[in-house]
Structure 1
Amino acid sequence: MADPVAVKICGLTSAQAVSAAVGAGARYLGFVFFPRSPRHLEIPVAAELARAVPMGIAKVALTVDADDALLDTLLAAVPIDMLQLHGHETPARVAEVKARYGLPVMKAVGVAERADLAVLDSYLPVADQILLDAKPAQGAALPGGNGLAFDWRLIAGRDWPRPWMLAGGLTPENVAEALRLTGARQVDVSSGVESAPGVKDPARVTAFIQAASRAAG
């Protein structure tokens, strides 16, 4: 039997959503710190949610071009296990963040066409993980969580010397196909398991993780 697919439920905003994700078997829980997002958390709220997460489940802070002042404040208050950099951070900035905070760093890379994969290569020496997300449309308000998918055939048969995660437009209905086409062993979902922006649907969270598990088995 194949190893299980690791699922990240991102953009959690309530204790109920955290409980649903933990109960369904998520391996990563994502908390968003980006005021333009409907999933944005104030730091005291995030701290309370993160403290309720059982040991062994990675708590991931998603930030977008955050400066040291924000990261200092965030990490002083919230027990985070991994930083997800989802903006235009350069490889040098990724290395700087990793060195300053001593936490694993996941760098998100937007993909719309094959040429975008070359950008990914520049992060491999410095990031602990890579997240492949659909590149947002020009002028989009959010860098992710838009419910968009990229052409998964672009990465069919590809592998990288770092753990990587597939994101962008995944749902309980299409995650099995995404895994089949890409060979991904980690997937990230946010809007695809919501009943409204920022509101996770426990039934869809469970359905997503079950679909990913069945596809892996």
Structure 2
Amino acid sequence: MTATTINFVRHGKVENPNHLLYERLPGFHLSDVGQRMAQATGRFIADSPQLNTSVAVFSSPLERTQETAQAILNPLNKVRESRGQEPLTIETDTRIIEARNEFRGTRIGYGDGALWRNGNWKLVRNLWKPSWGETYKEIAARVRDFAMEKVDQFAGQQIIVVSHESPIWSFRHMLEKGHPEHNMLLRKTALASVTSITFDSDTHEVLGIAYFDPAKDVH
């Protein structure tokens, strides 16, 4: 039996002084703290005898994930160079992008432009089945499509996938509980965290799920 591990990494903290729900909006980059978070996770991956054997790095197309992926790629490629291996590049895939949310551009909190104005709060009555955009089932389905493709493509190997909180947790919840619907307030997907999911390369059965939070002390 061979095993394939997909290491899902959530991006680091974003520069967002106006507290907007940025969703898929362009122009939202990692903050200084977010850069340090991504670098901490990059060091963690480069120092791990298992993770630093990863043979590919994928990212969603948004700036915050691309920047996190680059911070991971830099030390990882130094390890590869020391082994005489070719450097990796970032491969972009839209299936691991942030969830679609109709509240994009609104502000968290109160005042003009706030999420809770204009009756928007009525759409947030059920945290398990969002009614304000892409459903958890849709999110998990596209991530599963991506993951199963990569399990076949990289059988017996490890890869890094930089994505977002909702796609990572919805997919994990589906694998563990049999359904992707969940209370979004109970997610365990810290900024710049690593969720490693190992699959049987032949059957796609989940063999194990591990979670790491390398940037928890970064401020």
TM-score with structure 2 setting the length: 0.33
Q: Which protein has greater RCO, CA pairs closer than 8 Å, 6+ apart?
A: 2
More strand by share: 1
CA radius of gyration, larger in: 2
